[in-house]
Amino acid sequence: MTPTLTCTRHQWTAPDGETLPYSFWDAGLMPGLLPDQHPRAVVVAIHGLSGAALDFDPLGTHLARHRVVTFAPELRGQGNDPRPERRGDLARLEDWFADLRAFLALVRSRYPDEPLYLYGESMGAALLTRFLAQASGRDLPDGLILASPVVVVPGKPGWWQRTFFRFLLWARPTHRIDVRKFTQRDRDDDPSKWVTRDEAHRTWFASAPHKLDSYTVRFFQCLFDLIGGCLDAAPQVKVPVLIVYAANDVFIPPARVEEFFGRLGSHEKEFHFFPDSYHLLLHDHDRAQVLERIEEWLLRRIAQTTRPRTTEERLAL
């Protein structure tokens, strides 16, 4: 998958000194828009498990037409981590929180007066949920969009599986588990395992350079802790929320998404259900309708902001 002309790649420095990449979709690069025009808003998009910033090319390109810029960082420990030995590993869940907090500060410093929205896909939705449940002040966005949010741990392991996992976590936390035999989601003969109806995208992802085939035991512990705490964290999420979700999601049933939606603490929350879609909404056949729904919600939220907050007002938060 090749990024569009509006997308450029950059690097930033995390709090611990690590250099991590991110993608940026610049509205000023769109035909007909002046390069020096201020954007109407800023979106920071967080990808899912074994995902990448490039997953948001449809979103970033679409929003650029409406003078909205999009940032998408590559998560440490995922397939585009510059350190190959760290791919599929995460020592502490707090490392993701610290990275996200610092990246948002970087974006705020570049666009101090524009409204900021967060977009999370799949596991990225779980990460944003947990992050916002404990956030305050400048870490709080003007709104939140969650796409196919995986906010409940699929299945329930037996006692012997839990016991064996705890032993591995104690004895060999960096031992790697090959997940290929458990993640055959793209078999063309079994639509129930698809993540999208788009055959070309399924074929591309099967050999995508950022796709991970193994994870450490401690990464799985971080993942279970992250997702397992989402339902309890939901009431602490107070910002305006839009959830878009699919009927044929292989990772989370619609009923669990709706349960999560009901627990959200926001007084301004909406959801939109796509009855024919699969997990990867931005890469499925209903992509245009998904983007239109996101666009409508986002532009309405922007219009409801009577005036942009000044730098002094943001610093006072």
The series of mean pLDDT values per 10 residues for the chain, 317 residues long, is 78 97 84 65 97 97 95 97 97 97 96 96 98 93 98 80 84 92 64 92 92 96 96 97 97 97 97 97 97 98 70 47
Residue showing tokens 């890469």: 283
Within-domain flag for 32: yes
Q: 193 to each of 185, 202, 214, 250, 295, how far by Cα in Å? A: 5, 11, 19, 6, 29
Q: What is the pLDDT of residue 162?
A: 79
How many Å apart are CA 81 and CA 86, to the nearest integer? 7
In this structure, what token pair is assigned to residue 228? Answer: 């397992």
Residue span of the structural domain in which 278 resides: 7-316
Q: How far apart are CA 129 and CA 132, in angstroms?
A: 5
pLDDT at residue 153, rounded to an integer? 87
Is 1 part of a structural domain of the chain? no
Number of domains in the chain: 1
Residues 6+ apart with CB under 8 A from 134: 97, 233, 236
* CA–CA distance, 70 with 240 (Å, rounded to integer): 19
pLDDT of residue 316: 41
The CATH number of the domain holding residue 85 is 3.40.50.1820
Q: Which residues contact 137 (CB under 8 A, 6 or more apart)?
A: 317
Cβ neighbours around 22 below 10 Å, total: 20
